[in-house]
Amino acid sequence: MSNFIKSMAKRLLGATALIGCIVALCAGISIAATPDVIYYNGRIITLDNAESMASSVAVKDGKFLKVGRADEIKQLAGTSTRMVDLEGKTVVPGLIDAHCHPMEAIMMKETWVDCRYPETSSVKKALDNIASWVRKTPKGEWIFAACVSASENKFAEKRLPTKAELDKVAPNNPLVVANGTHMAIANSAALKKLGITKGVAKLPKGGSVILDKDDMPTGVLTDAQADVPTTPTLAQLMKYYTKSIQQFWNQYGFTSFMAITPAAALPVLQKIAQSGAKPTIRYTTSVWTSANGKDMPEDLSEFRMPRGVDPAWYRFGAIKVWIDGENDCRTGFMYGPYVGHFDTDPAGGKGTLVTPQQEADRFAGIAIKNGVMPMMHCSGDAAIDIGLTAYENQIKKGSSNPIMRIEHFGMFQMGDKQLSRAKEMIQKGFKVSVQPTWLLDLVKADYENMGPERTRLGFKFRSMIDAGIEPAAGSDVTGIYLDNVNPFLAIYGAVTRNSDKGIFMPEQAITVTEALKMWTIWAAKSMGEEKVKGTIEPGKYADMTVLSNDIFSMPKEGLKDVKVLKTIVGGNMVYEKK
Residue 544's pLDDT is what? 99
Nearest residue to 303 via CA among 259, 341, 239, 346: 259
pLDDT of residue 8: 38
- All structural domains of the chain: 111-222 (3.10.310.70)
Cβ(299)–Cβ(271) below 8 Å: no
End-to-end CA distance of the chain: 78
Cα separation, 100 vs 521, in Å, equals: 17
d(CA 201, CA 224): 12
Instruction: Give dist(CA 221, CA 228) in Å, integer.
Output: 10
CA neighbor of 496 nearest in space, from 442, 437, 452 = 437
The string of DSSP letters for 450-518 reads: HHHHHHTTS--HHHHHHTT--PEE----SSSSGGGG-HHHHHHHHHH-EEBTEE--GGG---HHHHHHH
Q: Regarding beta strands 314-322 and 373-377, do their DSSP bridges make them parallel or antiparallel, or are they unpaired? A: parallel
pLDDT confidence of residue 16: 40
The per-residue pLDDT for 32 is 52
Report the Cα 218 to chain-centroid distance in Å: 33
The Cα–Cα gap between 379 and 353 comes to 11
Rounded Cα gap, residues 222 and 78, in angstroms: 60
| pLDDT value for 230 | 85
CA gap 120, 130 in Å, rounded = 11
Q: Which of 348, 351, 321 is nearest to 333 (CA)?
A: 351
Question: CB–CB of 565/548 below 8 Å?
Answer: yes
Q: Do the beta carbons of residue 552 and residue 513 sit within 8 Å?
A: yes
Cα angle: 379, vertex 174, 116; to 5 degrees: 50
E-state strands within 293-379? 314-322, 373-377
Q: What is the pLDDT of residue 398?
A: 87
How big is the chain by its Cα radius of gyration, in Å? 27
What SS3 class is residue 175? Answer: strand
* DSSP label at residue 337: P
Q: Which pLDDT score is estimated for 535?
A: 98
Length of the chain: 578
Run of H or E residues at 566: strand 564-569
The reported pLDDT for the residue numbered 506 is 98
Name residues whose C-beta falls within 8 Å of residue 515's C-beta, 6 or more positions apart in sequence.
Answer: 436, 473, 490, 491, 494, 495
* Partners of 15 in beta bridges: none
pTM over 0.85: yes
CA-CA distances (angstroms) from residue 340 to 22, 152, 344, 522, 529? 80, 12, 12, 38, 44
Q: How far is CA 560 from CA 495, 498, 557, in A?
A: 10, 11, 7
Element (H, E) at 260: strand 254-262
Mean pLDDT for each 10-residue chunk of the chain (578 residues)?
Answer: 41 40 38 86 97 97 98 96 98 98 96 96 98 97 96 95 98 96 96 96 93 96 91 92 97 98 96 95 98 96 97 98 96 98 94 97 97 98 98 90 93 98 96 98 97 98 98 95 96 98 98 98 98 98 98 98 98 97
Q: What letter does residue 55 receive in the DSSP assignment? A: S
493: Cα separation from own chain's centroid: 18
Q: Concatenate the DSSP letters of all residues of 191-219 into one string.
A: HHHTT--TT--B-TTS-EEEE-TTS-EEE
Q: What pLDDT is recorded for position 114?
A: 97
The angle formed by the CA atoms of residues 409, 443 and 250, to the nearest 5 degrees, is: 65
